[in-house]
């Protein structure tokens, strides 16, 4: 899965479509080419290179971009791209998420009654 | 499903040996995480356990998913088929996957969204279709995905926004259509996406927008229009009342109109560099109470400083390469939180008082037409560390001009018309640049600059005060370099590379070294003796 590599740094150029993931290795970095980026990272596609980038918060396990989380670490609750230890006002916990409560001021009328 | 799991875990142990041959399996309570990636498989592995919750089949050579092949996997939450050779996914391929939450199909050979296969995935939250060859998104293809939150369609061959297909995704929160060939965004293209928070449209060929292209996106916080071919400012953003981050850098926009962001009071960051912007409406950046950084470069037609009333949180303001001649007197009233101000390469002639800008740390005013400094100009700037006034026409500098600057460490007055330098307030300087002031021939006193490390003076003899004149060490005999008997500091004669390196290192070294060395140029030497010849 690698187009160009070096002994010290592993892969330095990936085939089109794959993401270059740089992992710290002592004082250097080692690159590898992945179809999807590991936990705590997201894949950023660009004109010239696709790279695995870090999600912003340590509490995020998987993200869409650096600021928008799609899966929080265990014990945290996800609401609109952010991780919470307890649900924000107007929402209630549901499995690993916070969802807009039945009667919250901001909840759309999705439920009847 | 949680109830079933709890019952199952108490009553019946899962039969061992459920891991398909050559795959790697981890137990997760009663459930099983199965990794069959990168095994050269050309078909789905046999005897997959019904308790499989995670199945990774990425980086194989699977070309076909037979209908009902995964029928029994009711506990499957995550299925990864990235990096295979799927050109088509038939109806029923995902039948029975009632609990599927994440489906990864990126890096395959799909030419259209497999609408029939996706029909009944009611719990699906994340769908990756990026890096395929999708040019068609059939109407209704996402209809059954009532829980879909995250959709990747980037790096495909779309030439237009799939408006009708997106129409049913009211739960969608994040979508990327980046790296396609979209040329136009019609009015109300995303009208039903009321929950969308993030929308990436970067790296397309968008040349034009409708006035109402983004109507309906009331939850949108991030909009990425970078690397497109927009000719006009995207007025359609006016309906995005919750927008926090907006990017339209690397387009072909020539002006930003008056009241450009009137509909976006929550904006935190705006990226619009790499546009041939020549003109900004004076009111363009008003009433942006959350904006922290504003950078306007190269707007050659801009003659007036923008009116920034209501944009009080600004911390960094850069307006370079315009034709601004003066600054508003109320600058610091409007921008009390300013930390960095860069107005270099303008035509500024006079400065107002910066009193009130208590947090200002750096001022760049080089390459302007400033001809005088008054005592009040910089008074009260208790946080100012760096002041760059190089390449102006400073001839008159009142004695107390630098007196109210307790933490100033860098002062650049290169290439002005100074004949004298008021030293009041400059005792903390580590960097002082005065070269290019031919009329400045006075000697600077060592005791006025106890912390100086880097000096650039108009004449070599002015360095003598900071060095022993009879012995000027040459770089290669630097080892003998030590403070001489009189405790004078030794100057190091260095070439340009050392100079930059020294400067770079000094920047990181707040504490003065025990052995204090001043780098003064032009350094006195055999042909530039330290005798006052003038």
Tens-digit pLDDT profile for residues B25-56: 999 888 999 999 999 999 999 889 999 999 99
Residues of B with CB below 8 A from A18's CB?
83, 107
Is residue B441 reached through a cis peptide bond, with omega within 30 degrees of 0 on the bond before it? Answer: no
8 A C-beta contact, residue A17 and residue A50: yes
- Distance, CA of B132 to CA of B180 (rounded, Å): 11
pLDDT for B509 beyond 60: no
Q: Which of B404, B368, B407, B374 is nearest to B388 (CA)?
A: B368
Q: Is B335 exposed, middle or buried (0-12, 13-18, 19+ CB in 10 A)?
A: buried
Residue B240, CA distances (Å) to A113, B243, B244 in order: 31, 5, 9
Q: Which pLDDT score, from 0 to 100, does residue B517 have? A: 75
Band of residue B479 on the pLDDT scale cut at 50, 70, 90: very low
Report the gap between the CA of B517 and the closest CA in chain A (Å).
32
Contact B128 A36 (CB under 8 A): yes
Backbone angles phi, psi at B460, to 5 degrees: -65, -40
Mean pLDDT of chain B: 87
Q: Is A39 on the interface with B (CB under 8 A)?
A: no
Residues of A with CB below 8 A from B203's CB?
45-47
- Could you report the per-residue pLDDT of B221-248, keeping only the tens digit for each? 999 999 999 999 999 999 999 999 999 9
Work out whether the CA dihedral B235, B236, B240, B246 comes out positive or negative: negative
Residues 48-77 of B with CB under 8 A from A: 58-59
| Dihedral over alpha carbons B180, B184, B188, B193 (to 10 degrees) | 10
- What predicted TM-score, i.e. pTM, was given to this entire model? 0.82
Q: Which pLDDT score, from 0 to 100, does residue B506 have? A: 43
Higher pLDDT, B476 or A100: A100
8 A C-beta contact, residue B453 and residue B506: yes
pLDDT for B526 beyond 80: no
Q: Is A35 on the interface with B (CB under 8 A)?
A: yes
Q: What 8-state DSSP symbol labels residue B69? A: T
Q: Is A80 on the interface with B (CB under 8 A)?
A: yes
Residues of A with CB below 8 A from B200's CB?
65
Q: Is A111 on the interface with B (CB under 8 A)?
A: no
pLDDT for B89 beyond 60: yes
What is the pLDDT averaged over residues B394-421?
95
Q: What 8-state DSSP symbol labels residue B300? A: T
CB atoms within 10 A of CB B87: 13
Write the residue in A17, A65, A80 that is nearest to B131 by C-beta.
A17
8 A C-beta contact, residue B465 and residue B455: no
| Rg of chain A, C-alpha, whole Å | 19
Q: Which residues pair with B31 in a beta bridge?
A: B28
Q: Which pLDDT score, from 0 to 100, does residue B531 have? A: 58
Residues of B with CB below 8 A from A35's CB?
58-59, 82-83, 104, 106-107
Residues of A with CB below 8 A from B195's CB?
80
- Distance, CA of B324 to CA of B456 (rounded, Å): 29
- Distance, CA of A35 to CA of B131 (rounded, Å): 10
ipTM value of the model?
A: 0.87
8 A C-beta contact, residue A81 and residue A99: no
Q: Which pLDDT score, from 0 to 100, does residue B17 have? A: 52
pLDDT for B153 beyond 90: yes
- Could you report the per-residue pLDDT of A17-73, keeping only the tens digit for each? 899 999 988 888 899 999 889 999 999 998 888 999 999 988 999 999 999 999 999
Q: Which helix (H) or strand (E) holds B6?
A: helix B2-11
């Amino acid at each position: 899965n690698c187009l160009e590599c070096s002994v010290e740094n592993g892969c330095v150029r990936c085939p089109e479509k794959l993401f270059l993931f740089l992992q710290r290795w002592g004082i250097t970095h080692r690159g590898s080419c992945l179809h999807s980026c590991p936990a705590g990272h997201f894949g950023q596609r660009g004109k010239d290179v696709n790279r695995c980038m870090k999600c912003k918060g340590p509490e995020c396990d998987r993200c869409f971009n650096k600021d928008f989380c799609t899966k929080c670490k265990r014990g945290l609750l996800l609401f609109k791209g952010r991780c919470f230890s307890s649900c924000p006002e107007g929402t209630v916990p549901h499995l690993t998420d916070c969802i807009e409560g039945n009667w919250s001021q901001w909840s759309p009328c999705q439920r009847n009654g | 499903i949680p109830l079933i799991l709890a019952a199952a875990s108490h009553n019946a142990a899962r039969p061992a040996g459920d891991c398909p041959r050559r795959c790697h399996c981890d137990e997760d309570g009663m459930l099983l995480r199965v990794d069959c990636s990168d095994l050269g498989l050309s078909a789905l592995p046999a005897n997959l356990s019904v308790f499989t919750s995670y199945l990774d089949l990425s980086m194989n050579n699977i070309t076909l998913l037979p209908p009902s092949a995964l029928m029994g996997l009711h506990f499957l939450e995550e299925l990864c088929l990235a990096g295979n050779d799927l050109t088509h996914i038939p109806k029923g391929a995902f039948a029975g996957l009632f609990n599927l939450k994440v489906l990864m199909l990126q890096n395959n050979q799909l030419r259209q969204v497999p609408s029939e296969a996706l029909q009944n995935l009611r719990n699906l939250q994340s769908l990756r279709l990026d890096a395929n060859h999708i040019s068609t998104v059939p109407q209704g293809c996402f209809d059954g995905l009532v829980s879909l939150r995250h959709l990747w369609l980037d790096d495909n061959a779309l030439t237009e926004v799939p408006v009708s297909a997106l129409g049913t995704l009211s739960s969608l929160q994040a979508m990327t259509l980046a790296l396609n060939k979209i040329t136009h965004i019609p009015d109300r293209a995303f009208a039903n996406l009321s929950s969308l928070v993030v929308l990436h449209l970067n790296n397309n060929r968008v040349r034009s927008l409708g006035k109402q292209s983004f109507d309906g996106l009331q939850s949108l916080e991030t909009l990425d229009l970078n690397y497109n071919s927009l000719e006009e400012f995207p007025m359609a953003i006016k309906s995005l009342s919750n927008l926090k981050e907006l990017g339209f850098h690397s387009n072909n926009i020539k002006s930003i109109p008056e009241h450009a962001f009137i509909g976006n009071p929550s904006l935190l960051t705006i990226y619009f560099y790499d546009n041939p912007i020549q003109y900004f409406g004076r009111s363009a950046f008003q009433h942006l109470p959350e904006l922290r950084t504003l950078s306007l470069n190269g707007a050659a037609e801009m003659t007036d400083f923008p009116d920034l009333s209501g944009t009080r949180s600004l911390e960094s303001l850069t307006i370079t390469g315009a034709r601004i001649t003066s600054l508003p007197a109320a600058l610091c009233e409007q921008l009390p939180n300013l930390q960095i101000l860069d107005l270099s390469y303008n035509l500024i002639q006079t400065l107002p008082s910066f009193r009130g800008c208590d947090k200002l740390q750096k001022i760049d005013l080089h390459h302007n037409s400033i001809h005088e400094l008054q005592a009040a100009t910089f008074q009260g700037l208790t946080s100012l560390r760096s002041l760059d006034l190089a390449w102006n026409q400073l001839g008159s500098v009142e004695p107390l001009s630098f007196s109210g600057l307790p933490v100033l460490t860098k002062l650049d007055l290169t290439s002005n018309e100074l004949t004298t330098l008021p030293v009041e307030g400059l005792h903390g300087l580590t960097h002082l640049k005065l070269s290019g002031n031919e009329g400045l021939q006075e000697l600077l006193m060592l005791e006025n600059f106890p912390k100086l490390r880097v000096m650039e003076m108009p004449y070599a003899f002015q360095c003598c005060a900071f060095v022993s004149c009879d012995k000027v060490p040459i770089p290669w005999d630097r080892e003998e370099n030590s403070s001489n008997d009189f405790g004078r500091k030794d100057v190091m004669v260095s070439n340009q590379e050392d100079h930059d390196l020294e400067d770079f290192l000094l920047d990181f070294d707040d504490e003065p070294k025990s052995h204090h060395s001043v780098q003064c140029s032009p350094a006195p030497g055999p042909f530039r003796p330290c005798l006052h010849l003038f």
